[in-house]
Structure 1
């Protein structure tokens, strides 16, 4: 009414205003009561006794409730007759939103019974692909490789997420936060078969963890190279939104952005952004390209404390997963990335037709770059076989290498391209590049 007075009664347009700073990227761990099959026997016996006592109590009062119900019905009909016509109250839908706040708490310990690493298992990423598939074909091909992961957190509570079988002898990839705080784990296949899972290794910072089940000839998903993704590509997600009952849910969308730096729980993760619907319980599930290959592991979504936010999900790219998971499989931990010894501008500079590079701002004395001859004012145009047009490209190239490796680099200096070789003998930290 006040708005009509100010505008002279003319129709007005109402818009929502986006206020920067209110949204945040969150990792959601979906928890729910444990199903009976995962509860300890002592808890099951107590719950059964309580249920039997409750049934006896209800039977003893059933007759009284029937009598009171009849009296109430008579009273309602009488009141309706007296006060007719009456108006049904206006229905009000109530919505409640839950948002996780970022905390500085240390990751909780995973006490799930372990399985030894270093058994020769490898996560392979294919660089080629077959023909483009329909959504129905993709679902039939990938869904058998998608599992429900249920980690027991306490006597009556479990964390529910999704996982992907990547090796036919029972190796499964999921998110670390799905297992965090867990003491036991059960994996449910698409055909409802359930198996106890052992914990191989995991890393909280990269949010990746590997499980093992004692089965062979399982349907393993094929992993494709996320480096081939471009914005606008069709992608699909399969998972268990809101838990076990909705397992095997397929959603679709597009790649909204690649190499998106996202701040998650105190660290920056380089992720694929997608508008494919992701909800609590999808964590650890596959992001799939149009050829039926897993190109990412869904890990985080955007939320807001003041408005609905849709279509902002993020996945760890397979190009990153390959190195990290193989470190976990071989060593039981993520090996440190090497330091290059340079700082560069975030955005690239066009140096010529189809030639881009990032400018070197400084070079650390006696570092790998310094010993290779890289100088301040040079432009890095390629590293490790990857074209460099931003600092994110350079970091992506560095993730392919371990301390002790050699990394080729192409630099542009005063109009001339030069090839140098960096001997990566120093471990990188969050403060170095």
Structure 2
């Protein structure tokens, strides 16, 4: 009977097939804003899944409207009564045509290409981990795979699908890229807001006291909001885009500021909400309005998530490599699951760097290692009620 020790050799033997799969997947352009390409990309993924791991027991396709569709696939197992949800998004930030001057390329241990790190490499690793489990006879839990194509734009259509599906399981594994090899056990919550200032237009030279400058109001707001950054509490406020005015000699009648806010706790969410609610114009002839919302809730490092990481660390040690955890400022669909009280282990995807950058790359050796980790973790989740994971699953399901 196969054990964890058999995984590295089996996976190494499959390296060329894994690289070929990733090359084909990266060669499917799936920009978040092109539904035609997203639809064809998802069709490719589904056909590839059937070739590699067979037909799912159930399939549900949810129309995303103007956004990408979300696909939910169930792969039951005879080894466990529990269900694990795996989250993988298939969209990327790269526009159509990027492949023309940046194709998938292998240079030694480095694999580069648009979306390889974020996060197509993660799905390839999961699929080959499932294939390894089957061919080596390793146990695994029932697995529900959610594939969404709008993560890079905030998951506007897939969020309700994700939230409805994850609560049917015991824990959530997110195959987003790692952070320097570390798994992600905490993520910040994200708020996207816009401040709109309305002023009163007037000639800037002839009637300087008659008008009310919306740009002046926005400038004051920018300073006030940036002062709300508190790095010790994990809160950052960034005004990243400003628009306003019509002419240099006209008092600006309108101005807007687009804001990105990151927080590490619900307490900070409430504090920032209070700041936004309290914004007011200095000039009586001007007004301020706030639109937007919290795009993703905080993904806190709960005791359940800590125990889930401990199980992954145990598996890594058995396989002969160290494993670290970290907290990051970026958000993922794992934030939604964590906010519902589920244990979430994120960053199980590629080892590499350069998310959303032209130097995006992954380590092929890291891909093999993390495929072993995923298969080993699934085995541990199926057979380890006597260790810490039993408490994680039990607490999540109760």
Whose radius of gyration is greater, 1 or 2? 1
TM-score of the alignment, normalized to the shorter chain, above 0.5: no
Task: Name the structure with the higher helix share.
Answer: 2
Q: Normalising TM by the smaller chain, what interval?
A: under 0.3
Task: Name the structure with the higher strand share.
Answer: 1
TM-score (norm 2): 0.24
